Structures are given as structure tokens and as C-alpha cells.
Structure 1
Amino acid sequence: MSVSPSSPSAARAAQLLSRPITIGGLTVPNRIAMAPMTRQFSPGGIPGKAVAAYYARRAAGGVGLIVTEGTYVDHESAGSSDNVPRFHGEEQLAGWAKVAEAVHAEGGTIVPQLWHIGMARNAGQPPYADAPAVGPSGIRLDGTEGAGKAMTQADLDDVIAAFAQGAADAERIGFDGVELHGAHGYLIDQFLWHGTNRRADGYGGDPVARTRFGAEIVAAVRAAVSPDFPVIFRYSQWKSDNYDARIAATPAELDAVLAPLAAAGVDAFHASTRRYWLPEFDGSDLNLAGWTRKLTGKPVITVGSIGLDGDFIRGFQGESAPVRGIDDLLDRLERDEFDLVAVGRALLQDPEWAAKVLAGRFDQLADYNPAALRTLV
């Protein structure tokens, strides 16, 4: 794709994407966000100099808001790798403070994504090999039972406290906000989805009851940070290895899920889809982010194969993807369907993707080629 820097598309991209936006007390300098992408480049859960440089490079390349890769909260069952960063521990938090400082030095803003994988954990995995997999009902995404334990009230309280502490630490060490990972079949999402939540207490049942755990996490986080410290909530319909799963089959069901989260203190939603251009419900062209904004009135980030033709799942499985035009994205942004756009693979391919798009240098964008990525730098 070749677009002249003086073309109408280039001028429109610069105008629409370069506008600042305020979320809580944070002003993001433009409408381009970096999507969270797991990297496993943090031995011992400690983000080092290379991690700081990785994020700083994207901030220098024009990204307005960086959402970090998922980072484990302080609960022994939260993760499954000793190379995924953790958001607890003296060395780990010291490393994250340097990441935030490096991004700020380049003019960017940054929020950590706090994460608990729940029943996606397997027995014996690090960083705490003896920790069991936990979830709402001890059921995996594929329906397997007996591979983990249903959470007790004490378990729920511990995890809620861990998210709250992570958010408080994020504010203390200099981050600009926090994102809670409630998507893709991980712990919070396991409560939201009827396929993994079979509880008969107040945390299971109808869509509103299934939202209770997530809403309690949001409320605890909100209470642990300053009133204007942004709290972002990421969610999805699809789950890892179950792309047809849905937590809401209709706009009314989606409203039942989102309303308690918004009331608990979410400042912005991050609606994760595999292809942002697909409508979410019959009878409307709105995507999931568009419906989220319409129902909640909150700022919303859209994501899903932005800038590339082909969804990100195939990309991370080693398939290439050609550049996709963003005229449709700009059309949607112009009519306020959503507020920010999160970019993933395109920013792995090119740390200056945002700067090139903001300047209308579309002719300099390259196809996504995973074979050319020797390391995510």
C-alpha cells in the first residue's frame, strides 16, 4: 500500500489520531495505544534494561499510551512462567519503576496490565510450582474438571487484595494508570463466562452475578488509588482456543455485564476482538468497542488486527500479514464509535509505526513478517 503524505487519507489520519484524550486524570497525547503482548523476556519476573528500552522505543516512536504485557499479581496461582514479569517484589517493582521512567522520558504514558491466569495454569508450573490452578468452579476452558480448585471466599478475598495492592504499587512507582486483565479466558473472565462459572453462590448464576468478582476487584482497586488515577478494564467475548465463546449474546446481556463494572469505578474499557472491523451483534455495524461506548458512555479502546490484514492469532503462530488500510478505522473514529486504537503486531514489526501513520508516511509501512523478528525489541 502506498499513500502520499499529502493525500486526503494521510491528512485525515494525522488529524484524527493526533488528538489528545483524557481518561480520569490522565491526558494521553494521541489516540494510538500499544496493545499488551506477552513476551517472557523477564527472568525471575524482573523487567530489566531491555524491557525498559523496548517500551521506551515505542513511546519515542509516537505511541500515546502503552499498555504493558500482562504482569502477575501477588498470588501464587497467578501465573505459569518464571519469565513473565511480576508486579510484586522489591526487584520486580524497581524494574517496573525504571520502565515507567524510560517511557516518560520519551513523552509517552504507560499503564501496567495486572493479570491472574486462573485455570489456565497447569500443575507444577513456575514461578510457584506447588500452587494449584484456581477458578470460579475449578473448570478449564475446555470443560475439563478436577484439574484445579474452586475458589473459596478466602481465595477470592486474597486475589482481590492482590489486584488492589498491584494498582496501589503502580501509582506509587510512577505509572499513569492501571489495566485489569478481564479477557481471553483468564481468571476474571472465567467468572464472567457461563462455560467456566458454575457457582451457586453470589458469584455465579445470571450475567450480573457472574460480574460480581470483577466488580469487586475494580472497587478494591478504585479504593486503593487516587480518585483521578485511571482504571482500565480489558475484556473480550472470545477465549483462548474458543473463539466462538460469548459472555453476552445481545446488547442487553452486554449491558448487564458492563454496567456493574462501570459503576464500580472503571474509567475506560479495552474491548478485545480478533478483527476490529467485524460487527458484534446482528442489525448494527458497531464493533464490540462501539457497543461498549454506547452502553457505558465511557472512553473505549478498540483492538484487533489494526493495520494488518489477518487476525493476530495467526500472526503469533508464524503467519505473515500484509498491511491493511485504515480508512475504515478512521471512519469509525470520526463518528466516535471508539476513542483509542490499540496496535499490536504492527508495533512489533516497526517501533515507529505510530509516528509514520501520524505523519502520513503510509508508504513506509511494512507487512508483518514474524520470520524477520529475531527478537521482540
Structure 2
Amino acid sequence: MPNLFTPYELKGLSLKNRIVMPPMCQYSVDKQDGIPNDWHFVHYVSRAVGGTGFIIVEMTGVHPDGRITNQDTGIWADGQIDAYRKLTDAVHSHGAKIAIQLGHAGRKAVDAEPPVAPSAIPFDSRSKTPKALSREEIAELVDAYREAARRAVEAGFDSVEIHGAHGYLIHQFHSPLTNVREDEYGKDLGLFGEQVVRAVKEVLPADMPVIMRVSAKEYVDGGYDHEYALQFCTRYRDAGVDLFHVSSGGEGPIGSNGGPNAVPAYQADLAEYLRNGLQVPVIAVGRLESYSDAQAIVAEERAELIAVGRGMLSDPYWALHAEEALGGVNQMPKAYERGLWNRK
């Protein structure tokens, strides 16, 4: 029976444990150039020191106007590669693996002039009305994802995660709420996402898994449910996705945090549903700060990996503390051994 600290392998990705730091935007780029700085270096490397097995860098723009804000990271130019290489080398030196989440905010890009989307529908009454993408512009964005994935490989990342959740561009294409186009991208809502997956797959090594983050449910009247999510995820799986990172929300008044009624592990059932329906591994995420909750989901084989977001913002050493609480730490940075009480 697996547990939170059982090693895990998927294609060429080999993890020392089942603990994932999910992408969480830091809004800390200081020159609006998309290049990660010292803040990002310390932020991610400290979680590697803290025992996390797999770190996924925050949503990183494949295009300058694809960022949520101009303070977000980007990977749209070759000149950005070196900063990421410094980061991946440091994370690897502490025994962790690292991926990068490639994304485009679409109509939710607050600093874009104008933002773009499948259709000219603003996110809410306070948001800008986006420009509906032309076919030519869609093709350019597919290529932007491809080139961003190529740069990620050159920068030393162990995997790539495609952001198809939380109301961002790919989500906007496959959601009937936000895609009312009359061309092939409106008649076939999963087409853009499939094209992105295939483009990314083209430039990755054969043994590098493709991850995709999806919202398995929209918390809004008329929004899609888990059964519809299974349909488009099947499409993405067949295009080349190896592992799904299962979240929810992002459209309507309730965002990706599930709203005030979200309880611990509130998205675990959605992850398990897609895991069973797709017959592929999944990452469960959502209020999993409790060590015992995270341990139970892996032990019950409801998900292969567990992502701890806000809990890891609060505690960079969440993984070490979880191991200590659940039975004793076997591996600890030597410099920190004096701070550990329950060493085996």
C-alpha cells in the first residue's frame, strides 16, 4: 500500500515522495520582463530543502499579454532561459524534481491592452472586454505554447504542466459559457486545448510526462460538471496528457479556492472520479494541509500525488513536518537535524 513517502515514477520522472508544491503565482517580477528573481529562487529552493518531492513553478506566460499581471513570470523568449536554469539546478541539488506550468490568462489578463479570448465576453462587470482571437492568432498561440515548452526543456525542467483550469485561456475555449464562436473552435470546444497538448508534446523528450491542470467543475449557473470534464479530459489524454492535476472553479463569483464552503479535501472526489474514468494518474489538490488527510488519499489510492498549496506557503518545510508527524523523518538536511525531535 503506498503512502505519502513512497517513491513514484511516471515515464522518466522519478520522485522521492508523493508531495507536490502546486503552482501559486507570486506576483513578484520586479522589471515586468517575466524573468524570475531572487524572491522566486528562495521561494522554490526552500521548498526543495523542506523535503517536497515535486515542485511546479507558478503559471508562466507563453506570451507577454498572457500573464495575469505584468508582475508574473514568463517564458516567451530565449533570453529568459538562464534564470530558470539557475532555479532548476538548485532544486535538483536538494533532491527534488521541478516542472513549470505554461499558461495564458486570456480574458483574465488584467494588464493586457486588450486581453484576448475565444469570444468577446468580459469576465465580469469590472473587467475589460477581450478581443476575440482570429484563427491566425490562435495558431500563433499554439506555437507560443510549443516554443515555451522547448525553452522549458532547455532550462532543465523535469516536466511541463499545461494550465487548462481556473478560467484561463484553454478553460475559456472548452467551456460553453465562454466560447460562443461560430467557427471550428466554437463547434469543437476541445480543439484548441488538444492542439496545445500536441504542440507541447512535439518538443518534449519521449520520456518526459505531460501534465495538465483542469477544473473538473464550474461553480456557476449553467457551468459544466464533472461528467463534461471527463469528456474533454479524455480528449486531452488521447492527445498526450499523462497526468491530470485536478482542481475546480475559476468561472463566476467562486474562484479556484472553492469559496467559503470548501472543506478540507473538497476536490479529492473530483480527482478520484477523473482517475477512474480516464485510467491515468492524478494529482489531488485543495485544502490538503492536514498531514493525515493527505496521507489517507494516497493510501486509499484515490490519487497518486498530493498537492499542498496554501499549507506550503505557510510552511516551507511542510513535507519534513508531515514525515515527522506520520512516523519519523528518515532524511533531513544535516544543518537542520538539531531541530528534529522524532528522528528514527
TMscore range, shorter length: 0.7 to 0.9
Residue 50 of structure 1 deviates from its aligned partner by 3.0
Alignment pair present for 1:25 and 2:12: yes
For 2:240, the equivalent position in structure 1 comes to 265
**1:318-344 alpha-carbon deviations (Å, 9 max, x no partner):** xxxxxxx44344333222111101011
Distance 2:14 2:200 in 1: 20
Counterpart position of 1:318: none
1:1-377 superposed matches below 5 A: 16-43=3-30, 44-73=33-62, 75-122=63-110, 125=111, 131-142=113-124, 147-205=129-187, 209-237=188-216, 243-244=219-220, 248-251=224-227, 253-273=228-248, 274=258, 275=262, 287-307=269-289, 325-360=290-325
1:26-47 C-alpha deviation (Å, 9 max, x unpaired): 1111100001111112223211
Question: Match of 2:156, SS?
Answer: coil
CA offsets 1:100-138 (integer angstroms, 9 cap, x no match) = 11100111100011110001124xx2xxx6x42111112
Alignment partners' CA distance in 1, 2:131 and 2:102: 22
| Residue segments in structure 1 that go unaligned for 5+ positions in a row | 1-11, 281-285, 308-324, 364-377
SS of residue paired to 1:330: helix
Distance across 2 between alignment mates of 1:279 and 1:349:
20
Q: How many correspondences in the alignment? A: 314
**Alpha-carbon distance in structure 2 between the residues aligned to 1:141 and 1:236:** 16
SS in 1 for 2:3: helix
Is contact 1:36-1:68 (8 Å) kept? Answer: yes
In structure 1, distance between residues paired with 2:28 and 2:265: 33
CA contact (8 A) 1:247 1:254 kept: no
Higher relative contact order (CA 8 A, sep 6+): 1
The corresponding residue for 1:368 is none
Distance 2:44 2:105 in 1: 23
Q: 1:328 to 1:41 in 2, by over 3 A?
A: closer
Question: Structure 1: how far apart are the matches of 2:293 and 2:43?
Answer: 29
Give the Cα–Cα distance (whole angstroms) in 2 for the partners of residues 349 and 144 of structure 1.
Answer: 31
* 1:92 Cα deviation from its structure 2 partner: 2.2
- Report the 3-state secondary structure (helix = DSSP H, G, I; strand = E; otherwise coil) of the residue aligned with 2:301: coil
Identify if the C-alpha distance between structure 1 residues 145 and 41 changes in structure 2 by more than 3 Å, giving closer, same or farther: closer
Paired residues of 1:114 and 1:179 also in contact (CA < 8 A) = yes
Could you list the per-position Cα deviations for residues 169-207 of structure 1 after superposition, in whole angstroms to 9, with x for gaps in the alignment?
1111211010111111011100111111101222224xx
User: What's the offset of the Cα at 1:141?
Assistant: 2.8
Alignment identity in percent? 34
Q: Secondary structure at the match of 2:177?
A: coil
Contact 2:172 2:179 in 1 (8 A): yes
Do 1:184 and 1:237's aligned partners in 2 also have CA atoms closer than 8 Å? Answer: no
Give the CA deviation at 1:355.
Answer: 0.8
1:359 is paired with a residue whose SS is helix
> Residue 315 of structure 1 aligns with which residue?
none
Please tell me the residue identity of whatever aligns with 1:266. V
Distance 1:177 1:62 in 2: 19
Q: Following TM superposition, by how much is the alpha carbon of 1:361 offset from its aligned partner in structure 2, in angstroms?
A: 6.4
- Structure 2: distance between partners of 1:198 and 1:360: 50
Where 1:232 maps in the other structure, the secondary structure is: strand
State the AA in 1 paired with 2:50: G
Does structure 1 conserve the Cα–Cα contact (< 8 Å) formed by 2:281 and 2:304?
yes
1:375 paired residue number:
none
Change (3 A) 1:146 1:60: closer
1:155 CA drift (Å): 0.9
Output one character per residue of 1:1-29: Cα deviation in whole Å (capped at 9) or x when no partner: xxxxxxxxxxx9xx611111122311111
Q: What corresponds to 2:253 in structure 1?
A: none
8 Å contact from structure 1 (residues 181, 233) kept in 2? yes
Counterparts of 1:144 and 1:204, CA distance in 2: 25
CA distance in 2, matches of 1:327, 1:361: 8
Distance in 1 (alpha carbons) for counterparts of 2:184 and 2:280:
27
Cα distance in 2 between the residues matched to 1:108 and 1:215: 30
1:371 corresponds in structure 2 to: none
Provide the rounded CA distance (Å) in 2 between the counterparts of 1:350 and 1:328. Answer: 17
